Structure 1
Amino acid sequence: MKGVILGLCPTAALVDLCHETAAYDVLGGSFLLHSAVRFFPAGTIHVAVVDPGVGGPRRPILVQIDDHLFVAPDNGLLSYPMSSGTVRSVRVITAREYLLEQVSASFHGRDVFAPVAGHLAAGVPPERFGPEVTDAVRLAIPRTSLDPAGALTGQVVWIDRFGNCITNIRREDVEAFAPGASCTVRVLLDGRSLGGIVQFFGEAGPGGRGAIIGSTGHLELFSHQGNLARQWAIAPGGAVRLEVGA
């Protein structure tokens, strides 16, 4: 993919965001993309490929969100960025001349998305790649809520390579739920208690479990120097519950 892009635009600056997305985890990939986009300058072209439907009827799309361009499969991979920014246009990529001559059934990252990104970087305007549409696939973004007992509930949306469980509960959700009292919040994961929220991993001690506000700005559940997801067999979608004063 990098070779294709550089072959079309030798001056392109290429940045690898992540190669650790779990296979077929479209929503998790969308969350990771959303977590990183804000650090890139206006005009950045993002190529995102988590594509279990490669070679099938799913469409390739080119989306402008705020001042960023995204090239991706139309399978919901852009759900998080589209929900948090202003979607200026969504185009189905139909212009065959901007793809590789031979398009395989298994590697559209190289044969479709990379050449489109390369042509964009070389100055081809977005409107040349295909018509605008309004029916891009959007996956449901997990939301937090208060249950009848007054607890804040959410879920695990991503698990990193350390086994830390990143949730959809944001810093501002925690602060609104327990203003100035986060240290008294009890965190439960799939019904099991992790204790409270700490300021850094080491505060829990080796092997200790807890929660922090991680680098994504979301509540992150961990086992210090361990792998919480493996220890407790946690997967994305695992239920998270915050209680105050318990």
Structure 2
Amino acid sequence: MAFITLTTDFGTKDHFVGAVKGAIYSELEDAKIVDITHEISPFNITETAYILKNSYKSFPKGTIHIIGVDSELSEENKHIALELDNHFFVCPDNGLISMIASEIKPTKIVEINIHDRIESSFPVLDVFVQVACFIARGGNLTVIGKEIKAFKKIIEIQPKVNQLENQIIGGVVYIDNYGNVITNINEKMFQEVGKGRDFVISAKKHTFTKIFSKYNEVATNKAYNNQQYEGHKLALFNSAKFLEIAIYRSNLDTVGGANSLLGLEYRDTITIDFINESKKDFTILT
């Protein structure tokens, strides 16, 4: 029995998701199909990468992940299949694999070459499904494509560290259902660069000098109901270990989320400045 996941920007109004599932079942009647999401912002590669990085590991080893975002075939946008961390990915080579493969390198990558036999304007249905089902039957990747050594990388997924290691420059890669703003700065980088130093996180005109371990830590006064703290801003490392800027008990219909209340959007710059001991006497505004 094969587990096959689907991650696309198709939405659920149209027939696309149903057609893909039907094609898989036509090939593998006992397949287990799981929707990771079909609500990726159209053509948003960075958002796709973040969601996949933080979901694929929850599935059993050997799971096949079909990724249908910006998947139209072109000279610049090849189709690839790869094995990474005992999982298989069938996707366009548009950089979305960069975040997943930033710490774990693929075991094998092939450029899919079955397009010569298939003319299609819907490659997820006509090509990716065939490749995924072939892998599910135990097929070797090299049968469906020539092996390659590298995949396309997108720079914006990776934060930068300045030469003096006093600053991390990152950006917003995802805004979740609560309006929480997720950056590409992970906890490991923060600890390695910061080395325990004081810091200032800057997000547009807003600054943070403390990172909480969970959301309700912001509600420090037990004399008040937690609802008294609704609307308080905070920074924390989320369950995926990425720096997140949030609004406590945010509700997009009432209180608002960090994206709307703080004016933060996808690709906005987020910086962390670390303070050397000799400079600790200056005033930090919070």
Normalising to structure 2: TM-score of the pair? 0.73
Any stretches of 5+ residues in structure 2 without a counterpart? 1-19, 219-228, 251-255
Structure 1 residue 211 displacement after superposition: 0.8
Identity of aligned residues (%): 26
- Which residue in the other structure is 1:201 paired with? 215
How far apart, CA to CA, are the structure 2 residues paired with 1:63 and 1:133? 10
Cα RMSD over matched residues? 2.7
Structure 1 residue 161 displacement after superposition: 2.2
How far apart, CA to CA, are the structure 2 residues paired with 1:122 and 1:151? 49
Structure 1 stretches of 4+ moved >4 Å: 96-99, 146-149, 177-181
How far apart, CA to CA, are the structure 2 residues paired with 1:155 and 1:33? 18
How far apart, CA to CA, are the structure 2 residues paired with 1:163 and 1:50? 22
Give the number of aligned pairs: 239
Q: How does 1:84-95 map to 2 (within 5 A)?
A: 84-95=103-114
Matched-pair contact (CA < 8 Å) for 2:115–2:127: no
Matched, 1:132 2:147: yes
Matched, 1:3 2:3: no
- Which residue in the other structure is 2:272 paired with? 242
Structure 1 residue 114 displacement after superposition: 2.0
**Aligned residue identity for 1:28:** E
Structure 1 residue 91 displacement after superposition: 1.3
Match of 2:46 among 1, 12, 27: 27
Matched, 1:60 2:79: yes
Distance 1:62 1:232, change over 3 A: same
Larger gyration radius, structure 1 or structure 2 = 2
**Aligned residue identity for 2:145:** G
Q: Secondary structure of 2:82's match?
A: strand
Q: Secondary structure of 1:123's match?
A: coil
Matched, 1:143 2:159: yes
Structure 1 residue 131 displacement after superposition: 1.4
Query: Which protein, 1 or 2, shows the higher relative CO under an 8 Å CA cutoff with sep ≥ 6?
Result: 1
Matched-pair contact (CA < 8 Å) for 1:98–1:116: no
Q: Secondary structure of 2:139's match?
A: coil
**Aligned residue identity for 2:175:** I
Structure 1 residue 125 displacement after superposition: 2.3
- Which residue in the other structure is 2:173 paired with? 157
Any stretches of 5+ residues in structure 1 without a counterpart? none
Distance 1:80 1:231, change over 3 A: same
Normalising to structure 1: TM-score of the pair? 0.84
1:202-228 CA distance string (max 9 Å, x none): 334201111111011111111221311
Structure 1 residue 194 displacement after superposition: 4.3
How far apart, CA to CA, are the structure 2 residues paired with 1:156 and 1:185? 19
How far apart, CA to CA, are the structure 1 residues paired with 2:169 and 2:52? 24
1:104-143 CA distance string (max 9 Å, x none): 42x3222221222122212332222121223532222422
Distance 1:176 1:19, change over 3 A: same
How far apart, CA to CA, are the structure 1 residues paired with 2:193 and 2:153? 28
